Amino acid sequence: MIPETLYKELSEHCSHYPSRQVGLIYVLQKLQEYYGGWLPDEAVTEAANIVGIPEPEVEGVTTFYNWFFREPVGKTIIACCDSISCYLCGAENLISHLEKRLGIRPGETTPDGRYTLLPVVCLGNCDRAPSVMIGETLYERVTVESLDKILDQLDAESNKEATR
């Protein structure tokens, strides 16, 4: 259950449009943030209530878009571009390296819940290919070495948090 303040805030956001459903994408984004990066069943019910449309309509939207998740995802999402320019510049190597390093296949989450590996379409950074988006940070001209360095650092940060 989301707190009443968030419910009210999202409901007000929808009132700002001539049709409340215009606010649905925003509502789902905020609910996903609240529920730790994914949308459990109750979030779908809550979005339907807030917007005032049937649940199946909300479900149709959540399952359509690439950045809505209906199952738990890792704390950090590693979005690896595999479209043409990055493909030409070695994206496949990066993805297979990540598969080995993390021990998961694209679309899966590490057992410790730290990382989800996702292939994504073009990140719009093709002149600096290959590109990888980790969390909300875009990394460009990525190599296996630079990728390892970034992940080593992220691992170290999480370990520090875990022991705190």
Partner 1 sequence: MTERVLLKNFDPRNPVPVSYEAYVKAGGYEGAKNALSKSPLEVQQIVKDSGLRGRGGAGFPTGLKWSFVPMDHPGPKYLVCNCDEMEPGTFKDRALIYGDPHQLIEGMLIAAYAMQMTRGFIFIRYEYKKGAEILDRAIQEAEKHGWLGKNIQGTGFDFYLETHLSAGRYICGEETALLNSLEGKRANPRSKPPFPQVRGFLGQPTIVNNVETFCNIPHILARGPEWYKKLGLNGNAGTKLMGASGRVKTPGLWELPMGTPLSVLLKDYAGGPAREFPIKAVMPGGLSTPMLTPDQFDTPMDFDSVAKAGSRLGTACVIVFDEGDCMVSAMANIIKFYARESCGFCTPCREGMQWIYDTLCAIRDGRGEPADLQVLDDVGRHLAHTFCAFAPGAQGPLVSGLAKFRHEFEEHISRGQCTAAVK
The contact set with partner 1 (CB under 8 A) reads 18-19, 21-26, 28-29, 51, 57, 60-61, 64-68, 79, 82-85, 87-90, 120-129, 133, 136, 138
- Least separation in angstroms between CB 41 and partner 1: 18
- Least separation in angstroms between CB 47 and partner 1: 10
Q: Nearer Cβ to partner 1, position 138 or 150? A: 138
3-state helix, strand, coil in the chain (%, to 5): 50, 10, 35
What DSSP designation does 47 have? H
The residue whose two tokens read 């992220």 is 154
Helix (H) or strand (E) holding 97: helix 91-102
Q: What's the rounded Cα separation, in Å, for the pair 29 and 146? A: 31
Q: Nearer Cβ to partner 1, position 121 or 162? A: 121
Q: Nearer Cβ to partner 1, position 63 or 153? A: 63
Q: Nearer Cβ to partner 1, position 86 or 102? A: 86
Q: How far apart are the two ends of the chain, measured CA to CA in Å?
A: 29
